[in-house]
Structure 1
Amino acid sequence: MPKAVGIVILSVVLWTSQIDCQEAILHIDNGTANKEYCLVYSQSWTSLSQTLENAEPYPLVNLTSTVLCDPSGVKPDAVQGKVPVVMRGECDFSQKVLVAQGLGAKALLIASNTSLITPSANESEYAKVYIPLALMRYRDFLDAQKVFGERMEVKLYAPPQTKIDPSIAVMLLISISTVALGGYWSGACERERLSNIAAGGGKGEPKADSGDLSLYSPLKVVIFVALMCGMLVLMYFFYNILVYVIIAIFCLASATALFSCLDAVLDKIGCGTMSFSIRNWSFSVRSLILAAVCISIAVIWGVYRNEDGWIWILQDLLGIAFCLNFMKTISLSNFKICVILLSLLLVYDVFFVFITPFFTKNGVSIMVQVALGPDASGEKTQGNMVEVPAEPQAPSEKLPVVMRVPRFAAWAQNLCGMQFSILGYGDIIVPGLLVAYCSRFDVWINSTKKIYFVSSCIAYLLGMGVTFAVMLLSGMGQPALLYLVPFTLITSCLVAVYRGEIKQFWAGTTYEVLDSSREPLLPEGRADCSVGGERC
């Protein structure tokens, strides 16, 4: 019985995850060769077969010399039982398809020199049409003529697409792994710092690794968020200029971050270093090799950043290193600062995603337009409407501030352009700073089970799961912080309350404004138990 219920639930999920595909495939065959091209259609007219095997083959007839707004000049024998290709323009889609239908055509293809949009009409027109209608690129038709000549047999089909794409699982794995590794790294650096202090007789020493920059003042947090808001607005209005500045900064910062990550890994596995001196300057062979590798990767990304087919791998690699290094370098001094920062960034995220569309000219949120770029094709999609460029477009520069993973389910049929699932770096870094604080707090209380770190990681995973679930159900992108911030903050707070450590968790470490060195929250040598005798 439980297995049957599980199968039913899974079937319902998969059924409800099916989406009305607006992109189809034109399969052309002349008996010796075959090729496929992109089509854009609407199921509001007549649906297409979902598989090539079930699609009916029809002869293709070239009528691109006409727009087929009326039957004059077209012989019925030339169209009867065939699929005519006509040019777009001068009359509505409904008028063209009704004329073709009256002449006995089996389907109608409209060649376009402009962008391909989902063909639509008045609701009353759809019921009159019983043959498929689709748009194709005119350059694709010319290419087909060169390859196949005038004798072509075509099949139209639309493979089903699901909202639940494997890329979501990959994105979830990237995000949770980065947050967990970043938090663990921050805690390990804090443990090493405290060990160095203990070995030095308890005297504070400059921090080597754990938090090169600390946020301990609410005013600094407010200023930091205000600067982020200002930068986002500037990017919206001066995108074409500032995008190159951000790309250059990203290349430098990501190369440095990748060096830091790889250097830490080599230290962990005990890889030795050899050094040599030139004129009283000492150089590490390992550091030089690592620097060359990291700079090369960043330069390759910078040169080929618009190659959608494979460059996403390097961008994600550099992005993971950037997020890890940021979480290790920036530290929040206490839970109060965590609450202030994450709450302000939650408001920032929601405002720029949900509120700003009411003020922008095109009705697109500032956050989404800056993340995808003003020329991104994804911005031209409204509801079930799809728009595909008819001609090759010059690559538009995009900010390297997102993880990108291709939609694998659509990869094999991506004739209309590659589709990506994206996740902003902020959706990793912002909750990651709280996870890193929880990891350091575990060190301060000598928790061998890392209760705060583990619970915050689980909360982040659940928050990401809810984010993706809402995205799939609503069919639109979501500000992930809307779900991640409450999940992580509330979970961490509840753990602290349950263990009776909320005061210590809220206060964190003691900071001197002029001295960034911190003392352990609890005395050295404390047993592995919490306040009140509860064990970790």
Structure 2
Amino acid sequence: MRSELWIILAVILLSYETEGQEAVLHVSDGNIQKDYCLVYNSSWFNVSTSLSDAVLYSLVNMTSSVLCNDSGLKPGSLKGAAVVVIDGSCNLSQKAQVAQEFGAEAIIITSVDAMRSSSISKSEHSNLTIPLALMRSQDFIDVLKVFSGNDTKVQMYAPPIPEFDFSILIMLVLAVFTVAMGGFWSGAAEREKLNARALSAGEDDSGGELSLYSPLKILLFVVLMCGMLLLMYFFYRYLVYVIIVIFCLASATGLYSCLKALLNAMGCSKLSVQCGERSCSVRNLMVAAVSITLAVVWGVYRNEDRWIWILQDLLGVAFCLNFMKTITLSNYKICVILLSLLLLYDVFFVFITPFFTPNGESIMVQVAMGPDAAGEKGSGDVVVPGDPSSSYEKIPVVMRIPRFAAWAQNLCMMQFSILGFGDIIIPGLLVAYCHRFDVWTGSSKIYYISCTVAYCLGMILTFVVMFLSKMGQPALLYLVPFTLITSGVLAWRRQEFKQFWAGTAYQVLDSTREPLLPGGDAEHPVTVRKC
């Protein structure tokens, strides 16, 4: 399972906010009213920002015609109407020009294919004075079923999207909670290990943990991460399923570990039963069944955006907690090397790679959002799937919270604020080390609390910069300096930097059991001492 944890970490991603050019088509007949998704180019056409100010049009169904010429039309026959025609046979501007000449006030073009705002270009609309929008064919079929009368009216409007969305606060709380609990769990496990070591006369009890201690291995690991990200970029459509399977396995394992630890902390009995010479814990079997079931449910319904994000976030939190408890950094030197290299990794693949990719898109964002999510990358080209029931595969190593204020966008497709697991796990490993150091030195959680607060402030700065720049940010750019500098300065002020840098004497390097600090005897247990 450790190898699965590393593969998941190798595709850690960043938070990214989306913007769109979606509008609402409000349809009513006096008794029934319903809203539908529209896509338009806000650079060339303006629509009202509220329903109360939107112009009321009579709906004219001309989907039996492509409207590429004036065949079958009488002068003024479309006066004051919003005309609906099908896509194809000629470009959009030609259809709109014909509709405008016959008095139409707006034109809506239905499409069975993905709808692109960039398909409405400036050169094509130079002679147009009426708004032009795109609509899913499936949605218009629904309009015809719901509104069968001749007195159907429509209004087009695009509600402004607030700069701030409440989902950001939820994301902040979720991230800080996960980091704080992961660090706390790691420190608590370290305390239990020390107590067990003392009772067993110095015998090692790693509890299944994996300690990182070698700078060379850290460097090799980061190089492998770069290679994994490049493979995901070039072979996304195949490797995404590998990541999905690994996430199901790793998240089920993480949820099992979290639930078992929670039940142990609550003092719940294991309800063991005897099976021959072996005992079986009914409680653990039930926990395993729940964990596996939730992971399988997520795997089956992973593209049901309306509700599956709740389960993905739950599994994601469990995965991150288990990772921070299982993977430990042996000293502050390793923390500095790992976090610094991953900071460079994050910045390079976000800000530098756009200069080398054919579409000018960063490799990190391309992998984070998926190659079919062009409309979600903030490039100005909004792409809405022609079939709302279909969805593209996305790698599941992100926390996702729906953007509650984006009503018009959510009609077209669910919009999310996302935060990569890496922006939680990587600083969380440092927070976990700080709590373990508190345990080693008996310093009343001062390192743990300070580093957690620094993480929170770093996240807040990330969101502030994101709002000011109106683009996604590599969160590690702010989280790494905040957490590293805070913990390092605290150790220096407490005159414990030498011990904080090197770790503790009982930490070991590898299977040879050589102590981390010089002067120890690899063949004999090293007693725990305060730094």
Same fold (TM over 0.5): yes
Who is 2:433 aligned against?
A: 437
TM-score w.r.t. length of structure 2: 0.87
CA distance 1:516–1:437, change in 2 (3 Å): farther
Who is 1:446 aligned against?
A: 442
CA distance 1:417–1:509, change in 2 (3 Å): same
Which of 329, 335, 356 pairs up with 1:332? Answer: 329
Who is 2:472 aligned against?
A: 477
Q: 2:20 touches 2:382 (CA, 8 Å); kept in 1?
A: no
Answer yes or no: is 1:303 the counterpart of 2:300: yes
Who is 1:194 aligned against?
A: 194
Measured against aligned partners, the alpha-carbon deviations of 1:75-119 in whole angstroms (never above 9, x if no partner) come to 233111211223335555455445434433222222233322226
Larger RCO: 1 or 2 (CA < 8 Å, sep 6+) = 2
Answer yes or no: is 1:80 the counterpart of 2:76: no
Deviation at 1:415, TM superposition (A): 1.7
CA distance 1:392–1:516, change in 2 (3 Å): farther
CA–CA distance in structure 2, aligned partners of residues 409 and 89 of structure 1? 34
Who is 1:498 aligned against?
A: 493
Which of 369, 381, 387 pairs up with 2:383? Answer: 387
CA distance 1:374–1:29, change in 2 (3 Å): same
3-state secondary structure, aligned to 1:409 = coil
Q: 2:23 touches 2:408 (CA, 8 Å); kept in 1?
A: no
Who is 1:236 aligned against?
A: 233
Paired residues for 1:153-164 under 5 Å: 153-164=153-164
Who is 1:368 aligned against?
A: 365
Letter in 2 for 1:474: S
Deviation at 1:296, TM superposition (A): 1.2
Paired residues for 1:26-425 under 5 Å: 26-69=25-68, 71=70, 73-89=72-88, 93-118=92-117, 120-122=120-122, 129-149=128-148, 151=150, 152-200=152-200, 203-209=201-207, 212-378=209-375, 381-392=377-388, 394-410=390-406, 414-425=410-421
CA–CA distance in structure 1, aligned partners of residues 19 and 304 of structure 2? 29
CA distance 1:44–1:76, change in 2 (3 Å): farther
Letter in 2 for 1:275: S
CA–CA distance in structure 1, aligned partners of residues 175 and 251 of structure 2? 17
Letter in 2 for 1:161: I
Measured against aligned partners, the alpha-carbon deviations of 1:299-325 in whole angstroms (never above 9, x if no partner) come to 111221121111111111111011001
3-state secondary structure, aligned to 1:161 = coil
CA–CA distance in structure 2, aligned partners of residues 255 and 390 of structure 1? 34
CA distance 1:234–1:42, change in 2 (3 Å): closer
Answer yes or no: is 1:460 the counterpart of 2:455: yes
Measured against aligned partners, the alpha-carbon deviations of 1:271-290 in whole angstroms (never above 9, x if no partner) come to 12221121211111211111
CA–CA distance in structure 2, aligned partners of residues 360 and 225 of structure 1? 21
The answer for unaligned runs of 5 or more in structure 1 is 1-18, 532-536
CA–CA distance in structure 2, aligned partners of residues 386 and 394 of structure 1? 17
3-state secondary structure, aligned to 1:28 = strand
CA–CA distance in structure 2, aligned partners of residues 121 and 192 of structure 1? 65
Cα RMSD for the two superposed structures: 2.8
CA distance 1:45–1:512, change in 2 (3 Å): closer
CA distance 1:74–1:473, change in 2 (3 Å): farther
CA–CA distance in structure 2, aligned partners of residues 156 and 455 of structure 1? 51
TM-score w.r.t. length of structure 1: 0.86
CA–CA distance in structure 1, aligned partners of residues 290 and 450 of structure 2? 36
Letter in 2 for 1:194: L
Q: 1:213 touches 1:331 (CA, 8 Å); kept in 2?
A: yes
CA distance 1:138–1:288, change in 2 (3 Å): closer
CA–CA distance in structure 2, aligned partners of residues 296 and 517 of structure 1? 42
Deviation at 1:265, TM superposition (A): 1.0
Deviation at 1:51, TM superposition (A): 2.5
CA–CA distance in structure 2, aligned partners of residues 143 and 289 of structure 1? 45
Q: 1:93 touches 1:121 (CA, 8 Å); kept in 2?
A: no
CA distance 1:385–1:153, change in 2 (3 Å): same
Measured against aligned partners, the alpha-carbon deviations of 1:241-260 in whole angstroms (never above 9, x if no partner) come to 32222222222221111111
CA distance 1:289–1:420, change in 2 (3 Å): same
CA distance 1:122–1:254, change in 2 (3 Å): closer
CA distance 1:250–1:191, change in 2 (3 Å): same
3-state secondary structure, aligned to 1:297 = helix
Q: 1:176 touches 1:460 (CA, 8 Å); kept in 2?
A: yes
Letter in 1 for 2:195: S
